[in-house]
Structure 1
Amino acid sequence: MPSLPMSTCEINQDSKDSTDPQESLEDHAELIGSAKRRVKDETLEKEDLKKSRVEDELEKSKEETKPEINEPKEEPEKPEESRSEDGPTTEEYIIDCSPSPSAPFEHRVVTTKSHQITAYYTINRDEILGGGRFGMVHKCVEKSSGLTLAAKIIKTRNQKEKEVVKSEIEVMNQLNHANLIQLYAAYESRSDVTLIMEYVEGGELFDRIIDENYKLTELDTVLLIRQITEGLQYMHKMYILHLDLKPENILCVSRETNKIKIIDFGLARRYKPREKLRVNFGTPEFLAPEVINYEFVSFPTDMWSLGVITYMLLSGLSPFLGDDDNETLNNILECKWSFEEAEFTDISEEAKDFITRLLIKSKSWRMSASQSLKHPWLSDRSLHYRLHQKKNKCHSTHAPPPES
């Protein structure tokens, strides 16, 4: 396979709600004592009564010591994990499921303005944050507030291309989620449309995949994929398909954390169940089979791309990448991929199962975003504990050889 170019457990024993054994034994002892006294000669009654009182006192003192003898026997009933050096949560690891930092502004419903953008923003054209088929993204500062933002300048040669950008704006106006990049303003000129957006500084997720020196563990990948899935779950609940999900379209909030934002809604479409949607665009190695076959697309189309991203993050390899686009597309149509590469040797079976449930040719059999979030790989704290202990680095075969 070619490599990329590019909880606390509360132990509630309820004291077993057990009846104190000493009460039943005392009652039993008293019954025996009274029976004995009835058969004694009346002339010895007083003496026997004295003896029985002494016996009762002795019996009582013995019974009082019994709970102390029995107490240690109850100890082994406690679960193993509750008596470890690290406390009751030793066998579980709670991953950081807190949301990504929100945009430094409230969600906005944006319409394009025809004002001169340079009157309101200073755009640093020398600092390029990213780029693609649409144009370039630059760092910029709002003059009135000093707020640092990102300016996505999209070249538009005609009205049709302007409408495509306005469709992207309409989609972003509907999306208000911490894992989705937020739109601040939009400006239109004769030759381009500029989208002013939330700025994040951690770079593309793609950079972490290809960086052999970046220590990306399987547990890191769990965190990243969980956030992407949460973003997709929100989009799908809003009936919006991304349709261009890939590592280049996922930004890291910072270089120190695993918090992410999904970006680039230029190919996103609103899903209308009564209107069968077909598309003929996207990046070849991330395309789902239904896109290549020009069949109807829906929510599972994004889930296929999630499976490809997961595979890439865990191995540093692209599951369907061929020597050219045609070979790549044929590999996808044949659903030709495997875990045979050495990079998957130390990857958990749960991770492999997660991918297997997404990279399915028939879209109706793929996990949804909500189902994915419930999958053990993303939700099982015991598994996360094992991964935390293991701390295995993904792409392990890429690591430098040990010093001799």
Structure 2
Amino acid sequence: MEIIETEISFSGYLKRYGHLKFIELSDPPLTKRPRYSPSVIPPLPDQNPIFTLKLSPIILKNNKRKRFTPKSSSSRSVEEITKQVFDGVVRKSSSWIKSEFLGRGSYGSVYLATSKKAKTKTTMAIKSAEISRASSLMDEERILTRLSSPFIVRCYGHEIAREETLFGGERTNYNLILEYCSGKSLFDLVNDNLGGLSEKDVKLLARDILYGLDYIHRANIIHCDIKPENIFLTPVENRIRPSGYVAKIGDFGLALEKGSSEYEKASGHRRGTTRYMSPELIRHGIVDYAVDTWAFGCTVLEMLTGQQVWGEHSDLGSVDWDILIGQSCYIPYIPDWLSEEAQHFLSRCLKRDPASRWGIGALLNHPFLQCGSIIVY
């Protein structure tokens, strides 16, 4: 599929009374696009009765991301016991020591580790899985070792080590060694800022993500799972960044190299997280650079609003998600209270037709992102 990028002519924008009026030379002026109102769930093809239910304004008003609250005592105790058991087993390598159990993923476990060789102790993240189940980690390393950008989580290689099990036995683990981003994830940052981040912070973080996407796309890599949980934050001085963070793209377990045998096998199949999948990916299994642009738009929308994309449809079943995203004419709701520049920017990311969706270069030159400076180190 050929991706069509529309270049922006700054002379095509008219600044009047402090507001930008978009008069594009290469694109017709904005027309009223089909949108659904947040107060009524729109009827869709082959609709399920749930699509005709009206939601009260109170429900929608409170449908924001919720702060993290502890789970019930029973589930919390299980989680604490699991963490205690894993932390109680000393795991060593020739170059590092795992010091803290951070969590589990579909690929295996994640640990905090400290380097033993460096003069200054370096903290790293270790993704670990039993070697017979480590194919996704191997795929991730294969992609990451080709990449080197300040906007991509660094990969330091891997080690295969025999490690103790909880019951005194041994197993062979594949350990992927990654940069540890101590600012956690963009998902955490949005959750901690109910109502959304400031536009100034969103612009800076969005530019970081776009620079990362531009870099991997030039390397013929499609990420396939852009979402707030996979954007990691590295702390920097507040005098450099008001938000205090630089954003880096991570978790390349589903990434594909365009033209590779893996890419050919993936054709016609979905990859990623449904809520952030593009219409063409859900409907036809088309995997191309434009799927990352759509998912990026969903991520920026969440940063600006503090709400999950498609949040008013959270209770839908898988078939209804397919209809909503893959077959309807709707895009995620873009609130009118956002600035004109933000609305226009999001509408260009969230074009249902991938050929009309703006490319990374055009988005980087959009007036919404024309502020501040980037950090390269």
Residue 179 of structure 1 corresponds to which residue in structure 2?
151
Residue 316 of structure 2 corresponds to which residue in structure 1?
324
| Alpha carbons of structure 1 residues 153 and 338: separation in structure 2 relative to 1, 3 Å | closer
| 1:4 aligns to 2:100 (yes or no) | no
Instruction: Say which of 91, 96, 107 aligns to 1:121.
Output: 96
Tell me if the contact between 2:144 and 2:252 (Cα under 8 Å) persists in the aligned partners: yes
SS in 2 for 1:259: strand
| Alpha carbons of structure 1 residues 198 and 366: separation in structure 2 relative to 1, 3 Å | same
1:254, CA displacement in angstroms? 1.7
1:273, CA displacement in angstroms? 8.7
TM-score by length of 2: 0.64
Instruction: Say which of 251, 259, 262 aligns to 1:264.
Output: 251
Q: What per-residue deviation string (whole Å, max 9, x for no partner) do you get for residues 229-284 of structure 1?
A: 01000000000011111101111112851311111111111012996552423212
Instruction: Say which of 202, 207, 211 aligns to 2:188.
Output: 207
| Alpha carbons of structure 1 residues 169 and 180: separation in structure 2 relative to 1, 3 Å | same
| Alpha carbons of structure 1 residues 311 and 329: separation in structure 2 relative to 1, 3 Å | farther
Amino acid at match of 1:330: I
Tell me if the contact between 1:221 and 1:310 (Cα under 8 Å) persists in the aligned partners: yes
1:149, CA displacement in angstroms? 2.8
Give distance in 2, aligned partners of 1:312 and 1:348.
15
Instruction: Say which of 291, 298, 301 aligns to 1:311.
Output: 301
TM-score by length of 1: 0.60
Residue 188 of structure 1 corresponds to which residue in structure 2?
160
Instruction: Tell me the C-alpha RMSD between the 2 structures.
Output: 2.6
1:152, CA displacement in angstroms? 2.8
Residue 223 of structure 1 corresponds to which residue in structure 2?
204
More helix by share: 1
Give distance in 1, aligned partners of 2:245 and 2:134.
35
* Residue correspondence of structure 1 range 140-151 to structure 2 within 5 A: 140-145=113-118, 146-151=120-125
Unaligned runs of 5+ in 2: 1-37, 39-62, 68-90, 162-170, 239-243, 373-377
Give distance in 2, aligned partners of 1:258 and 1:157.
34
Give distance in 1, aligned partners of 2:217 and 2:108.
27
Unaligned runs of 5+ in 1: 7-115, 385-404
Specify the structure having the higher radius of gyration (Cα).
1
More strand by share: 2
| Alpha carbons of structure 1 residues 157 and 137: separation in structure 2 relative to 1, 3 Å | closer
Residue 53 of structure 2 corresponds to which residue in structure 1?
none
SS in 2 for 1:228: helix
Give distance in 2, aligned partners of 1:372 and 1:197.
29
Tell me if the contact between 1:241 and 1:302 (Cα under 8 Å) persists in the aligned partners: yes
> Mean Cα displacement is larger for which, 354-363 or 182-191?
182-191
Give distance in 1, aligned partners of 2:186 and 2:307.
14
Identity %: 27
Residue 22 of structure 1 corresponds to which residue in structure 2?
none
Give distance in 1, aligned partners of 2:334 and 2:94.
57
Q: What per-residue deviation string (whole Å, max 9, x for no partner) do you get for residues 54-96 of structure 1?
A: xxxxxxxxxxxxxxxxxxxxxxxxxxxxxxxxxxxxxxxxxxx
Instruction: Say which of 343, 349, 358 aligns to 1:358.
Output: 349
Give distance in 2, aligned partners of 1:150 and 1:335.
44
Question: What is the aligned residue count?
Answer: 265
| Alpha carbons of structure 1 residues 316 and 198: separation in structure 2 relative to 1, 3 Å | same
| 1:368 aligns to 2:340 (yes or no) | no
